[in-house]
């Protein structure tokens, strides 16, 4: 099974691809897509849509795990990112790829059981789980990898429970 994880944004979008083989997970790739700086939102959304189309065609994910939005203080940024999420989700639906969503708090709870961890703890967890020599760079790449891995863990739980 191939899992594509996306941390949506309008200027920078984080991606990670994991392959799941039974109980084993393998990092295929992780990267950033950046839109053209200082362009209108409509142009950025078109760039995001074209990249999503290319990514889905190239990697053929079975499922997409996308980070849910949570409201911060800047409403304009929140609304713009919501537009980017819609474009990403539209392309997944169009390509018939299942979508699951997680909040940042759900990700942190999966790591620490109480939801209070910092970015360095998240990065070190990814480094240990995947036996990497160093923390994934850029720093937010660990977020992308963790969210894909988190769905993988949840799917093991769901499958194991179903089999009982």
Residue 143 designated active-site? no
Share of residues in the chain with pLDDT > 90 (%): 30
Q: What confidence tens digit (pLDDT) does each residue in 51-93 have?
A: 999 999 999 999 998 888 766 667 777 789 899 999 999 999 9
Question: Is 67 annotated in the active site?
Answer: yes
Domain edges within the chain: 2-163
Under 8 Å between Cβ of 65 and 27: no
Please give the Cα distance from 66 to 146 (Å, whole number).
11
Model confidence, pTM: 0.77
Nearest-CA neighbor of 20 among 128, 156, 134, 163? 156
How confident is residue 159, by pLDDT bands cut at 50, 70 and 90?
A: very low
91 catalytically annotated: no
pLDDT score recorded for residue 70: 67
Rg of the chain over all Cα atoms, to the nearest angstrom: 16
DSSP lists the bridge partners of residue 27 as 18
CATH of 2-163, one of 3.40.190.10, 3.30.420.10, 3.40.50.970, 1.10.3720.10: 3.30.420.10
């Amino acid at each position: 099974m191939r899992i594509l994880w996306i941390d949506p944004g309008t200027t920078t979008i984080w991606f990670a691809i994991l392959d799941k083989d039974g109980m084993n997970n393998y990092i295929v790739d992780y990267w950033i897509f950046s839109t053209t700086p200082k362009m209108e939102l409509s142009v950025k959304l078109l760039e995001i849509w074209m990249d999503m189309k290319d990514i889905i065609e190239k990697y053929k994910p079975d499922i997409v795990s996308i980070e849910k939005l949570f409201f911060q203080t800047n409403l304009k940024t929140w609304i713009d990112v919501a537009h980017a999420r819609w474009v990403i989700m539209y392309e997944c639906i169009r390509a018939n790829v299942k979508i699951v969503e997680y909040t940042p708090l759900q990700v942190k709870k999966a790591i620490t059981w109480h939801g209070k961890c910092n970015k360095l703890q998240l990065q070190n967890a990814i480094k240990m789980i995947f036996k990497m020599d160093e923390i994934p760079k850029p720093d937010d790449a660990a977020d992308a990898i963790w969210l894909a891995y988190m769905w993988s863990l949840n799917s093991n739980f769901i499958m194991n429970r179903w089999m009982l």
